[in-house]
Amino acid sequence: MSGQLKEVRNRIKSIQSTQQITKAMKMVSAAKLRRAQDAILQMRPYAEKLQEMLQNIVSNTEGDIDMALAANRQVEKVLIVVITSDRGLCGAYNSNIIKLAKQTIREKYAAQYAKGHVEVLPIGKKAWEHFTKNGYKVNERFWNLFGHLSFEQVKAAAAVGLEGFVKGEYDAVEIVYSEFKNAATQRYKVEQFLPIAKVDNQGEGKGRKADFIYEPEKDALIAELMPKILNTQFFKAVLDAHASEHGARMTAMDKATDNAGELLRSLKIEYNRARQAAITTELTEIVSGAAALVG
């Protein structure tokens, strides 16, 4: 009986230690989430308006000038940008993004993958580890981007897709990431980065077609504007993923702390029952011994 009590006590101590760790991780993630959330909420309206403007420009100038970044070609070579986190302990966040990326390759680019023409650009250690171990063609230059997150670093990562598309190394560039909604909700999505999408005449695209007056020359202005807007779109996706990671980790640690509390309650009940049984057994032995002496 004493051995059973000791075992339960050790389990209680172990779970209490784990609960303290999960509480601390939740608080750290909450602090990081606040900064990441502020960054994406301030960035998103600006980025969405720029994207709408870019799609309008591409739609309205179609055929007028040569726009290399909007060229629709037969898709032979593909770049998939997969944005995960560097660390785990954030629930199913990383596995959901990796699963969506693999599903996209399997359902949309199966023929290209069979020919070895699908390349993965992982951003985040978890994506890099998974796709490297599973034999995918991987560009390893920017997997640790979150270690020094800045617009310049993100711009350098976006240049892989931009320059590769212009040179014909890729015919399509897709970004797989998690769009931040709130601390408990993320939306996993695949977004076409290149070629630049056009506004749908049927009203299904983002925004409406609009006419623009260009000053100075149209071709010079568009050539300068396009890469800047695309860099902004890429940066928005990275900020979305960064906020989503901390939201997922905070939620996961909150649930882990609650689960530890439930387990502690059940173990304390088990411990009290075992202790009560031990006391009852001892009392029974004392009474039996006393009765034997009297007899």
8-61: pLDDT as tens digits: 889 999 999 999 999 999 999 999 999 999 999 999 999 988 888 888 877 776
**What dihedral do alpha carbons 234, 239, 240, 244 form, nearest 10°?**
140
Instruction: State pLDDT tens for residues 108-166.
Output: 999 999 999 999 999 999 999 999 999 999 999 999 999 889 999 999 999 999 999 99
> Of 180-184, 213-217, 220-224, where does the model show the most confidence?
180-184
Are the beta carbons of 118 and 173 closer than 8 angstroms?
Answer: no
Q: Tell me what pLDDT residue 183 has.
A: 86
Nearest to 81 by CA among 138, 125, 37: 138
Report the chain's terminal Cα–Cα distance, integer Å: 29
* CA 97 distance to own-chain centroid: 6
Read off the pLDDT of residues 218-272 as tens digits, 9 standing for 90 and up.
Answer: 777 777 888 999 999 999 999 999 999 999 999 999 999 999 999 999 999 988 8
Using alpha carbons, list the distances in angstroms from residue 89 to 153, 215, 240, 245, 255: 25, 51, 18, 10, 11
- Say what the pLDDT of residue 204 is: 46
Q: Residue 137: which of 112, 117, 157, 123 has the closest Cα?
A: 117
Give the percent of the chain with pLDDT over 70: 91
| 285 among known catalytic residues | no
Catalytic residue among 90, 138, 157, 199: 90
pLDDT band at 203 (very low <50, low <70, confident <90, very high): very low
Return the SS3 of 115.
coil
Residue 45 preceded by cis peptide, ω within 30: no
Instruction: List, in sequence order, the alpha helices (H) in the chain.
Output: 2-60, 93-108, 110-114, 125-133, 151-167, 218-294
DSSP letter, residue 65? S
- pTM score, two decimals? 0.85
Q: What angle do CA 158, 162, 167 make, to 5 degrees?
A: 145
For the domain made up of 21-253, the CATH class stated in words is alpha beta
Is the pLDDT at 97 greater than 60? The verdict is: yes
pLDDT tens digits along 48-76: 888 888 888 777 765 555 578 888 899 99
Asked if residues 191 and 174 have their Cβ atoms less than 8 Å apart, the reply is: yes
Domain boundaries, the chain: 21-253
Instruction: List, for residues 85-96, the tens digit of each pLDDT value.
Output: 999 999 999 999
pLDDT computed for residue 20 by the predictor: 95
Residue with the larger pLDDT of the pair 196 and 123: 123
Q: Tell me, what's the pLDDT at 66? A: 57
> Identity (one letter) of the amino acid at 287?
V
Tokens 């980790």 -> residue: 249
- Average of per-residue pLDDT across 178-189: 92
CA angle, residues 207, 166, 155, in degrees to nearest 5:
70
- Check: CB of residue 131 under 8 Å from CB of residue 137: no
